[in-house]
Structure 1
């Protein structure tokens, strides 16, 4: 919004700063952070008043969680969505369709997560909305966004490590892209099981994807690196900046011991955002490396379920993977920090693929 006003004024004087994506991205970080820190205490008090006993704790999870996390309110993801959305709209180029597509998926997935969290709080059950209904809604939202993105940049899946090598998938690309977006929404949701565990890896992955979006949107950088040029994708750096600022503000209150949980409202939205950025930048496969921690958490659940149903035996002491390490005796803070380190390493590995062409 500010960008358009500055453009109408001809970017005269100090307004010339608003021409640059890097400046507006930094401003988006600070704006979202300030909003989240400002509304945080009041929002948490409001959630406590509305939810009473807080989020129901899974009975099949670690026994310690029934004591340490009991009474903590959920739906803190609303803090992230509010501060991120306000900051994004304030600093983005409102004519950029890719940013609106990312906001559409993020808020849409956030709404699905909100329904799930609300159902859990009202019914005092950890089950929430039916998994089939959730997946159906997620694929509808993701499919619509991927279809729109495809109309602007084609329906080709570009392969990493190869210069401008891609597979034209046609309509199949919409199905593939929707699977990536919905899959990452649920992957982040599975990872969000310990205080601060999902938030920092989301920040790390978002920052990495923001860099990729910026260079993919710049013809000189994309040509030098040998990656597919996506006109307009650089504007997503502003969206990423707002997302990072909002997550940092939330993490201030979610640091152990958490004063609030993001819930499905936040985790589904953040995962969907990561998946959508990857689709816009044609880095869907690289996302599997950048967000490798979320992939590992998801795979651990799949392996556990398949193994138990086919052999009656469990591969892990408990799934998702972070609970397995808790059962091995690692403290919650140890699991969280070590998983952050793994996430950073994987993100750096994903970033290195930009030059491996």
Structure 2
């Protein structure tokens, strides 16, 4: 890890004197997003309490949640997304197409998540939007976005390539159909996986922060022609600017964790988890690091798979593999304290980020 970091700093100093401008904007985007969340959250929490917009706990969930979490304000994702949007507007290059794509998907998915929370919390429709309704909306948005990106950028070879870890200069070349399927699986899949992971206090936000750190490294490497050659990955012309969005994710995530850490005094709601998942998914698609990002997002994938396996086995054999899905509830029902589960999941997430970076270094050898 230290060797990788040394190489990274060496190449910055040798080849990228203009990088100081971007580093300054990265630092300012982190500070700006952090301050916005820290300042607005207390005001938002008081407003939510006055309006009685409180978390709806599913009746078949852990009994401790029904007793301890039902009166906690929710929809804190509104503050996170507001912070990210304002920060990106201030500190990013708005002429960069990738920034525009990300802001568009942020706004659209925020509307979907907000409607879901509105049905669930304001209208007391416990399930919110039906799963089919939610997936339909996500699918339409992702299909349109993926199609536009493909035809807008297919003049660049990178849009048709997927980098393969462990193999130098070997890529999978895709057509439109394969590209759309991959885009759908990454954006919609990750969006819902992060939504499923958001079940304990602070459980999801820290892995999001870790993943954002990993994505910053990937954005820098893929966005620099020398770095991309050094690490044997594709050069993506506009990707370096996406690190601004990743930094705003980190800043707003840290600010939100201040209030969301156990015992949480606010939850992010679907408006936060669905949208943050879509942003991370889109960045992964834009920098063409789908395989490597599967490792970085491993904790979200494990949570989603636990639900899928539970449903499949119950329909097939009328048996439950886990005491309750997602898997963090299984550990709860086994008697593991909530803070211990949360921190252990954080540790696993951090280890997966290190593994992804290690694989990136292997590509160079």
Same fold, TM exceeding 0.5? yes
Structure 1 residues 48-63: aligned runs within 5 Å: 48-50=49-51, 52=52, 54-63=54-63
1:53 is displaced (CA, Å) by 5.8
Taking the aligned partners of 1:208 and 1:26, their CA distance within structure 2 comes to 16
Pair 1:41 & 2:42 matched: yes
1:44 is displaced (CA, Å) by 0.8
Taking the aligned partners of 2:351 and 2:295, their CA distance within structure 1 comes to 10
Of the three residues 300, 319, 330, the one matched with 2:336 is: 330
1:161 is displaced (CA, Å) by 1.9
Partner of 1:99: 99
- Assess if the C-alpha contact under 8 Å between 1:156 and 1:170 holds in 2: no
Of the three residues 135, 160, 165, the one matched with 1:160 is: 165
Q: Normalising by structure 2, what TM-score?
A: 0.90
1:155 is displaced (CA, Å) by 2.8
Structure 1 residues 1-357: aligned runs within 5 Å: 20-50=21-51, 52=52, 54-150=54-150, 151-152=152-153, 153=156, 154-172=159-177, 173-357=179-363
Please give the secondary structure, in 2, of the residue aligned with 1:193. coil
Taking the aligned partners of 1:169 and 1:199, their CA distance within structure 2 comes to 33
- Assess if the C-alpha contact under 8 Å between 1:55 and 1:120 holds in 2: no
1:122 is displaced (CA, Å) by 2.3
Structure 1 window deviating more from structure 2 (246-255 vs 146-155): it is 146-155
- Assess if the C-alpha contact under 8 Å between 1:213 and 1:234 holds in 2: yes
1:107 is displaced (CA, Å) by 2.4
- Assess if the C-alpha contact under 8 Å between 1:159 and 1:165 holds in 2: yes
Q: Normalising by structure 1, what TM-score?
A: 0.92
- Assess if the C-alpha contact under 8 Å between 2:53 and 2:122 holds in 1: no
1:188 is displaced (CA, Å) by 0.1
Structure 1 window deviating more from structure 2 (118-127 vs 196-205): it is 118-127
Consecutive aligned runs of 4 or more in structure 1 exceeding 3 Å deviation: 16-19
Taking the aligned partners of 1:83 and 1:17, their CA distance within structure 2 comes to 27
- Assess if the C-alpha contact under 8 Å between 1:109 and 1:138 holds in 2: yes
1:100 is displaced (CA, Å) by 1.5
Gaps of 5+ in 2: 1-16
1:167 is displaced (CA, Å) by 2.1
Taking the aligned partners of 1:343 and 1:161, their CA distance within structure 2 comes to 21
- Assess if the C-alpha contact under 8 Å between 2:32 and 2:87 holds in 1: yes
Relative to structure 1, is the Cα distance of residues 53 and 222 closer, same or farther in structure 2, using a 3 angstrom cutoff? closer
Taking the aligned partners of 2:232 and 2:320, their CA distance within structure 1 comes to 44
1:264-322 CA distance string (max 9 Å, x none): 00000111111111101111121111010000000000110111111111101110010
Please give the secondary structure, in 2, of the residue aligned with 1:20. helix
Gaps of 5+ in 1: 1-15
- Assess if the C-alpha contact under 8 Å between 1:326 and 1:332 holds in 2: yes
- Assess if the C-alpha contact under 8 Å between 2:53 and 2:74 holds in 1: no
1:29-86 CA distance string (max 9 Å, x none): 0000001100010011111222x16121011110010111011111100000001110
